[in-house]
Chain A
Amino acid sequence: MKTSHVKSTAITPESIEAAGAVAPLAVAEYAVGLGDDALILAQRLGEWIANAPELEEDVALGNIGLDQLGHARSLLTYAASAWGKTEDDLAYFRTEPEFRNRQLFELPNGDFAQTIARQFIASVYFVSLYRALEGSADPTLAAIAAKAVKEVDYHLDHSVQWLLRLGLGTEVSHERMQRGLDAMWPFTGELFSPDPLAVGLEGIAVDPETLREQFDATTARWIAEAGLTIPAAPSVRGGGRGGSHTEYLGPLLAELQVLARAHPGATW
């Protein structure tokens, strides 16, 4: 009888480096945008560790942060290959306007409800993004997306569970959850605005506008189920993909980069 062994084929920054794939320049620039989204969100989630409402939630938020950091590392490692650089060159030695993340991800954590609101919006977006990206003609991007999609599915489930509990729990939690949504909602529009880094990459990059319909349907369903209201606030101008950011990214990067920049060229 033949026994089959399931070998772990999960893509990692190390396996991308070892495979030696060099990203074409345009693909690299696109991957930087996606990688920055994940990196900045991971940095925000890292701030929660040791501060969560309950110990079990410290562990849960830690897992989500680690997943996001993993996506960032894979995407940035692949992107960096185009310039003969490393993930750390990109993460630690770019200036604020060189960061390409959408603004949603750099917003402060606020209270737990605000963090859940951001995570909910982000997760709905990531699920359809990575599902679409799984079909990318670029094999490395497709492999990164295939690994990520299973993880963001879980992140969505986690944030939906909390959306329901906070939306329907107590008066206080309901109000806080609504306020969290209100604070984050103006930044959803940017997620679906044309991605300047995706131009000319048909079949490789995902056109964000194609994700909007699914996003609207999914968020509307869960927000209603949680007894909450879809905020009516207009979208902010955005522009993260072009290097325009809110006042919140600067301090975040200052913290992220401070040690590495104090020792340029050092190995850690």
Chain B
Amino acid sequence: MADGTSVDDEAGAARFAQLLADEQRVEPTDWMPEGYRKTLVRQISQHAHSEIIGMQPEGNWITRAPSLKRKAILMAKVQDEAGHGLYLYSAAQTLGTDRDTMFEQLITGKAKYSSIFNYTTPTWADMGSIGWLVDGAAICNQVPLCRASYGPYARAMVRICKEESFHQRQGFEILLTLMRGTEEQRAMAQESVNRWYAPALMMFGPPDDDSPNSKQSMAWNIKRFSNDDLRQRFVDMLVPQAEILGVTLPDPAIKWNEERGHYDFGDLDWAEFHEVLAGRGPANSIRVARRRQAHEDGAWVREAARAYADARADERLAS
């Protein structure tokens, strides 16, 4: 045909459209539009990269955690993040891009990941804020993804959401303990919440009228709610939680709106968001360099294991 599509493609496209209309899952071997595949690979691999880079701001505190219980919790959490990265890379790999390739894109700075992890974690209270605000926002984003149309992605998200429920709680507990502690601890908690609040809200992405890809993703049943809807939902959850904690959310515009049945909140500094996203955040290059270093330092280990496996396979063939 003139536009380069074949009869097979047309049948595939019809089947694909029917699957979406029936709220069915698309599986790896199904025909899918190239744009759908590309969008998914981009989104899932960015999500995986975020988990992997996200190990650093918290991993940074494992050796200094102020109690052995907190040290154990933090180790388990950072380890979960490695696991979640792996689940997601597996899901993305079913679309035909292998993990080595995706990882290469990450460590050469070609791939994007959630800009939230380019902020640094100077205080222990940041472990609380990351759990409560960052993981809280992530869960808001991720729960609807458990129903995303692409089967392997949705299944990875189910596993991740199940495991992540403890992440937000332990963060909330860290802040709660600090707020019940000494004056210095309370100040530490408030200062940290001040820094993380706005970046966490920006995790839902730009406002709907400035989010060019959202419409298509919603039509493909990848995205289920708009950025602004999810952000509103998150703020509505945060306000009463902040009251329980006794922290002040750093936005004087937060106010209950009886008419809307939601909390109003102030505008966010999207210029900063785009700066950080563009790689000019406080820790962009450090985060990527650290992963690249680990990957390069480990090359001889991976090669040795491969050589050992190959030699054993050869031996078995010969015997």
A residues near B (Cβ < 8 Å) are: 13, 39, 43, 46-47, 49-59, 62-63, 65-66, 69-70, 72-73, 76, 87-88, 91-92, 111-113, 164-166, 168-170, 172-173, 176, 255-256, 258-260, 263, 265-268
Q: Whole-angstrom distance between the alpha carbons of A66 and B76 in the complex?
A: 7
Q: Are B75 and A92 in contact (CB under 8 A)?
A: no
What residues of chain A lie closer than 8 Å to B67, measured between beta carbons? Answer: 88, 92, 260, 268
Contact among B52, B56, B304 with A172 in the assembled complex (CB-CB below 8 Å): B304
Q: Are A46 and B185 in contact (CB under 8 A)?
A: no
Q: Are A59 and B307 in contact (CB under 8 A)?
A: no
Q: Are A173 and B182 in contact (CB under 8 A)?
A: no
Contact among A58, A91, A255 with B82 in the assembled complex (CB-CB below 8 Å): A58
Contact among B63, B65, B298 with A47 in the assembled complex (CB-CB below 8 Å): B63
Question: Which B108-143 residues have C-beta < 8 A from chain A?
Answer: 124
What residues of chain A lie closer than 8 Å to B180, measured between beta carbons? Answer: 267
Q: Beyond A46-B63, A260-B67: 20 further Cβ-contacts under 8 Å?
A: A13-B68, A49-B62, A49-B75, A49-B82, A50-B82, A53-B294, A54-B301, A66-B79, A73-B69, A88-B68, A92-B66, A113-B301, A166-B301, A170-B300, A170-B307, A255-B63, A256-B64, A259-B65, A263-B66, A265-B182
Q: Are B64 and A258 in contact (CB under 8 A)?
A: yes
B85: Cβ under 8 A from any A Cβ: yes
With contacts A165-B305, A169-B304, A176-B300 taken as known, whether A55 is within 8 angstroms of B86 at the C-beta atoms is yes
Q: Whole-angstrom distance between the alpha carbons of A173 and B298 in the complex?
A: 11
What residues of chain A lie closer than 8 Å to B65, measured between beta carbons? Answer: 259
B83: Cβ under 8 A from any A Cβ: yes
Q: Whole-angstrom distance between the alpha carbons of A43 and B75 in the complex?
A: 10
Q: Report 9 cross-chain contacts, Cβ distance below 8 Å, ordered by A residue.
A: A47-B63, A50-B294, A51-B293, A52-B298, A55-B86, A62-B75, A165-B304, A263-B184, A268-B177
B210: Cβ under 8 A from any A Cβ: no
Q: Are B181 and A62 in contact (CB under 8 A)?
A: no
